[in-house]
Each structure stands twice: as structure tokens, then as C-alpha cells.
Structure 1
Amino acid sequence: MNRHLAATAAIAAWSATILAAPADAATADRESFGALPDGTAIESVTLIGANGVRARIMTLGATLQALEAPDRDGRVADVTLGHDDAASYVSHPNYWGQTIGRYANRIAGGRFTLDGKAYQLTLNEKAASLHGGTAGFDKRVWRIVSLHGGTAARVVLALTSPAGDQGYPGKVEARVTYTLDDAGVLTIDFNATSDAPTIVNMTNHALFNLAGEGSATGAMGHRLTIPAARYTPVNDALIPTGEVKPVAGGAFDFTRPRMIGEAIRNGSDPQIVLGRGYDHNYVLDKGQTTEPQLAARLEDPASGRVLEVLSTQPGVQFYAGNFLDGTLRGKRGHVYRMGDGIALEPQTFPDTPNQPAFGSARVAPGQPYHHSMIYRVSVTR
């Protein structure tokens, strides 16, 4: 059986077991997920809730490899872009569901100064260090610390990032905890401690298509709401300029539900031209919060699936899959094209270490990092 047929059979078997899951208990199932080209073994943990929502977590990149959810008629589909096997995440690298760190998004020139000392990070874009550099957290194999089921299914993964990793100071101990309950709420908690002052900004980079990954319609017909009256414009390297601009009435206004494709080709907006669409950080009205609050709401009118993203962070990066160019094949052999999936990444603002007006990304001994975010799946009738 070839790889794509095997993947299809596995998904079918995975979906079929939903009815067998206990109605009053979530479960966590651990299994092999293949190996990397160098022979490193990769595992996955499938979290199963009673209402038909399932999340598969892969140890490579602490990745949300799949999120399955029923539509209004009970039909289950995987709503995240990705690959069917671990090796493809290495041979065709991208940011499809991985945990991002040490620093999500872009740092200009890969340079920043902390406590009067300058640091140079690895560059994986011409003018920036993106998503942690050439070998960020997304490319590491994480350790499974614990997993259990019950009222909620949970897996905890850990990673040690040594001092000097990608140019960052301090030894960082990072943990990611995925928890799925029976209501279809997937909570992701990011925690990090450091033995020296450093910067940390962690998030998840899932790309969503609520019609089902690989669907012919893509995600441009989804309706999006972002409770943010302002966003941070970027330069031609997609680095924030430092300006904070109102969204009111323009292409970036998602304060009320709006179809994503409505203004994504609006060439009269220079920010749409620079980003090839949407690839911008929104300044959430709620700011930094102790408990997760709404950062975005995504709805697919055709299937009825709804995704709410909640977070404790002050920003959310909205990326509309602008750089998906049809050269990569994902799950079940699907060719991913521009707009086939979107990312909603809660975060500290991009380039914050170089822009004090944005706040602080500092972590130090006795001052740990914590970010709690939620993917809440439901349906409308």
C-alpha cells in the first residue's frame, strides 16, 4: 500500500473509532509516527474527546499534526494543513501546526540588545530571523513527559534549548501542554524558564481550513472576526514599522465578521501589496490578560464549523496562506495553493525586542514565560 493510501486508511480508521470512545471520558493514545531520514523515531499522541473532536500531537516540533472536527451534519474532517508522515516535515519544511520558538515571528536583522549586550541570531530570511531561526523549536524532537485521559485528555512535551542556541542567550527549559476536553476545547499552554535573561515568544502555527484540508474551496470564503481596532503595518521585509494604525473601514477591518477573500486582492492598499495579502499582527483590544480571551473567530458557512482562538497574549498574527504556491503536496497528496489555509497566531508583537513601545519579551531567572491559548471548535446550525 502506498503512503497516501495508507494515510487515507489510517484516517478512516481513526474517524471510525469515534463512536467507540467512552461517552464520559477523554482519552490519550500514544503510538509511533514513523522516523526522520536520519532514523530518529517520532511518536504521536491522539487526544480524543467525546463530541468527535480529535487532536493528534507529533513529537517533531511539538506539532498539532491533525485536528478533526464534525460539521453540522456530523461529518468529520481534518481541518489543519500538514503532512501524512514525519519525514515529510523535514524534507519539505514549512510551519504547519508546529510549536514556534524561541521567538515567534520576525526579529529585524536577527539582532537585538538585552541588558546592554548585543546578540546576533541565525537568519533564515534575508532581513530577519523568523520563528526562532534556522533550527527553531519547530524543527526539534520534543520529549513526552506525561499523558493521561479522564475528564480531559492531556499530553505534556518538553525541550531543552541550550545557551547560545540560534544565538539566543540563556539555557531555556520549554514545555508545551495540549489538553482536549469533551466539549471540543483544545488548550495549549506554553511555559519556559531560563537560567539567564533572554527573550521568549511561543505560539502554535496551525493553518486552518474549516471546510477540510485540501478542499476545493480553500479558506477564502470563511468569515473572520478579530476584536482589534488597530494593527501594526510592515515594511517590505514584513517587519513592523513601529506604527500602530487603525483598521476602521479598510481592508484590515475584521472587527465585524467579514469574508477573508473580500479585500485580499485590494491592490490600492500598500500593506496588502507588501504582504501579498494578509500577513500582519493585530493589536487585540483586550491587551495582555491573565486568562485566555477571544483573539479571533473563524466560521465556514458551508460546513457550519466554527473555530474560536483565545489567548492571554496582546497580539495575533493573521496569515492568509499567501506563500502557498502549489509546489508542496500535503496530506493525502493534496496540493496546497494560496489561500488554502490561514493561520491565527497569538503572540507578543513581532520585533518587540527592538521596539520598546511594543512592550517586552524578556524572560529571566524567577521571571518565567507563560502563554495560554485555546482552539475552541463548535458548529452553527
Structure 2
Amino acid sequence: MEQLVGAQHLHHHHHHSLSPRTPRTPTRPQPHPLLQHLPSNRFRDHQIHHAAPPRSLRVTPPFFLLLLAAVYLLASFTILSSPTPLLVRLRSSPKALLVPMPTPPASSRASSPEFFELDNKRIRVRLTNVGAAVTSLLVPDKNGAGIFADVVLGFDSLDPYLNGTSPYFGSIVGRVANRIKEGKFTLDGVQYNLTINNPPNTLHGGSKGFDKTIWEVTEYNKGDNPSITFKYFSRDGEEGYPGDVSVTARYSLLPTMALKLEMDAIPLNRVTPISLAQHTYWNLAGHNSGDVLAHSVQIWGSQITPVDQLSIPTGEFMPVSGTPFDFLTENQIGGRISLIHGGYDHNYVLDSGEVRSGLRHVAKVTDPSSRRVLNIWADAPGMQFYTGNFLHNIMGKGGAIYGKHAGLCLETQGFPNAVNQPNFPSVIVHPGEKYRHTMLFEFTTL
């Protein structure tokens, strides 16, 4: 569902709205506790207080007066010429001491971009902290553990993930996945204007969504239960969204051939929309094997949310039965894709799959050549089925060229543009609440 692929750059326009602030009644500054530890200013300020010197000074020996004068000059020069950082803050902005800024969260610390690997001897996953992205996933075929193929599209270098030329390969997208109409929404009477990066709409969080940021690695286990946890602190106003949000993504390999992803997000101070998605492009025959039109797909969704000419849902629900969107029974992707203008890029209402351990069976993908099978389980209300319609001669891993339909995406998510459609499941999260989104990718062979 990506229209910003390498050769198709668009101009981005930033529009940020400021929330109205309630005027505060001026108050008399109160002494800050930290001021108790400041060096005394009595030497510098003594001339303001015209108190008579104590009589004992009149009989002080001259050498002591000279010593006292030297101390006075040294202290005055030190305070006036090299004040402490706290004094600088006091002179330039007294209120900064009255309401000291909190220490930035650990996840806001700069991290260097890196690759990481999880391996349970059955499947092997390579990831990066740039966008918390899956860059490689090695899975055996029907012949057993000896024949592996990399079944996700990606890059050997971190540069495309960092510089924005990756079409969301393998990344987590947010703060809100998919499109928001005209990059606008209203919340509690305030209109917010987001960055427009898919004119005239906002797509996948904006020009620098979660996919283009460097996440902090807070946990990395390479043992019998390999896992990695990424964390990102999204600040108030980022790409136009309100409030600070702490986001966590944990990938883990299960004893079977399965990868689990658990995403959490907590708004810290303001109500805000949150809807994350995992944007891996799958090709079960191997990332370098051509298109996926021979793959078969089954989707446990009886309806889609139809879209207008700009790919924004109309607010309606359309049954898939009897249409080219019907994947309630397994069907080959290429069988009817020519009947869909541009290819599949639509949100399915997930409403009919089996539920297991709180997760719904949402999709099954089968490659007839390798006989690999991928089953996806999730707890989101919708899923975008996207057939890589905008991929065009992208240089991928090992020199592979990714063309149109080289991979397919099954992005479980909140419904697109839900912030502007009151009849869609809400994606609004309040402080004190936690957004959760879990996915399970299970691999088998026929």
C-alpha cells in the first residue's frame, strides 16, 4: 500500500497545528529547592545593603583586611565571569527553575543503526532498529531444514531504511498506519494538521513515521528463547500528532517455526490516535524469485471498506461474496487481479476466522513451487491486502530487482482514516490506557 517507492518520490509539505493553551495567571515565583545549593551572592550584592560594618572591623589588622579583599575579588570574578549553568538558566528564564524539565525518557537517547539476528535453529530472522524492521527471514522448504530461502523483501545495507527510499520494507509503521484523508482530523474540538506525504493525504505516519526512526534496543536475548525488544519515544507534535507516546515492539521466535510480534503504545499526557502495522513484503518462493501472482491467499474477512479514487475509505462496508475481493476460500492472487484497477490495496474487515489464545486467524498464504505456507494470526479489526502494485525496479538484497507484484503485504491494522469515520472501530487512545497489537506468523510446508 505504498506509493512512495524509490523512483517515485513526492514533495512533502508540513502542516502543524498548535493546540490552544489556557492563559495562566501570573504568580510570584517561589524559591526553587535547587537555589539552596547556589553559591552565595552576598559579595556581589553587599553594596545594595548600606548596613554599617561591625565595630570589630575597625581594629582588624591590615593584613587581614587585605586577605578579605582578595577573597572578595576572587569570588566576585568567579561568579560574574563564569556563572554555573543553573545561574544562567535563572537569569535568562526564571520559570525554568520553577518547573524543571523532566529527564528525557531512555528511549529518546540516540542509538546507532544496527542489524540484529534471532535464530532458533528452525527459522532465522534478521532485523534492524531502524523502523524496528524485519530485513531477512530464512525458512525451510518442503525438502526440510537443509533448503532455506529468504522470504521477505529488503536490503543488504541500512542506507535505504535510513534515507527514506525503502517502501516500508519490513518496518513498523505509525503513529497511524495507512491513510488519513487530507492529513486532518479533529479531536476534542481541536483540528490537527498532519504532514502530507501521499498528496493529498497522510500515509503511514507522515514523512518521518516510525519506519524511519531509530528505535532503542531495550532487551536482546540470543538463548533458547530468542527475542528482541525495540522502544521508541514519539514526542508531542511529531508529524502533527498530539501528545507524547511510548511505543514498544517485541519480536520473539517460538519453539515452532513461528515469529511473534507484540506491539504496545502508551499515550503519556494527551489523547491521540494510535494504529500500528507491520509492513513486511512476503514472497514465499524467495525474495528474488519474481512476482507472487502464483501464490494462493485465503483471508477471513467477509467485507472490505471500499475506497474512493484517492484510496480513502468511503465509510461503507461491501460484502466480498461474488466479487474479485472474495478470498474466503483459497484463491490464486493472479486469477482475478486484472479485474482490480491497479491491483489489490484494500482493507478487509476481519470477522470470520478461528480464534486461538486471543488471536484471530486472519490470513493464509501458500506458494505452490516451494510448498511453503504462512498463517497469520492477529487481534486487530482490519487488514490491508496489498500486492506490491507500486514496486518498480528496486535494487534489493543480493542484487535482486523487485518489480511490480514482487511481494505481498498483509498488514493487520485499525481501519484506514478511522479518525474521520465515526462508524469505524475507534483508534483513539487516552492517557492511562494502553494500545496493544499482537501478530503471529506461523510457517509450515505442504
| Normalised TM-score (structure 1) | 0.85
Aligned to 1:324: 391
* Structure with greater helix share of residues: 2
Change (3 A) 1:285 1:294: same
Equivalent pair of 1:287/1:313 in contact (CA under 8 Å): no
Higher strand content, 1 or 2: 1
Unmatched 5+ stretches in structure 1: 1-38, 267-271
AA at the equivalent of 1:84: D
Task: Give the corresponding residue for 2:314.
Answer: 241
Offset at residue 150 of structure 1 (A): 4.2
> Do residues 60 (structure 1) and 127 (structure 2) align?
no
CA RMSD of aligned residues (A): 1.6
Q: In structure 2, the residue corresponding to 1:109 is in which secondary structure?
A: helix
Q: What is the letter of the counterpart of residue 284 of structure 2?
A: L
Aligned with residue 148 of structure 2, among 76, 96, 99: 76
Which of 178, 197, 218 matches 2:271? Answer: 197
Distance 2:148 2:354 in 1: 34
Secondary structure at the counterpart of residue 166 of structure 1: helix
Letter in 1 for 2:409: A
Amino acid at match of 2:140: P
- Supply the distance in 1 between the matched residues of 2:309 and 2:390 (Cα, whole angstroms): 15
Paired residue type of 2:343: G
- For residues 175-198 of structure 1, what are the alpha-carbon distances to aligned partners after superposition, in whole Å with 9 as ceiling and x for unaligned? 000011120111111101112100
1:298 to 338, 341, 365: 365
Q: Secondary structure at the match of 2:337?
A: coil
Is the 2:353–2:362 Cα contact (8 Å) retained in structure 1?
Answer: no
TM-score, with length taken from structure 2:
0.72
Matches within 5 A, 1:35-50: 41-50=112-121
Q: Does residue 215 in structure 1 map to residue 289 in structure 2?
A: yes
How many residue pairs get aligned? The number is 332
The residue number in structure 2 matching 1:26 is none
Query: What SS is found at the alignment partner of 1:373?
Result: strand
Is residue 299–residue 307 contact of structure 1 (8 Å, CA) maintained in 2?
yes
1:335 is aligned to 401
- Give, in angstroms, the shift of residue 248 of structure 1: 0.5
User: In structure 2, what is the Cα distance between the partners aligned to 1:244 and 1:156?
Assistant: 37
**Whole-Å separation in 1 of the counterparts to 2:209 and 2:286:** 28
Residues 320-379 of structure 1 deviation map (CA, whole Å, 9 limit, x = unaligned):
0000122x2111111111111000000010000000101200111111111011111111
- Indicate the residue corresponding to 2:65 in structure 1: none
* Counterpart position of 1:87: 159
Instruction: Check whether the contact 2:111–2:215 (CA below 8 A) recurs between aligned residues.
Output: no
Identify the match of residue 159 of structure 1 among 232, 238, 256: 232
1:285 CA displacement: 1.1
1:220 match: secondary structure: coil
Counterpart of 2:191, as a letter, is A
* 1:44 CA drift (Å): 1.9
Q: Report the 3-state secondary structure (helix = DSSP H, G, I; strand = E; otherwise coil) of the residue aligned with 2:162.
A: helix
Q: CA deviation at 1:90?
A: 3.2
- Out of 410, 419, 427, the position equivalent to 1:353 is 419
How many Å separate the matches in 1 of 2:173 and 2:251?
A: 14
The Cα of 1:287 is off from its aligned counterpart by: 8.8
Deviation at 1:89, TM superposition (A): 2.2
Compare CA radii of gyration and give the structure with the larger one. 2
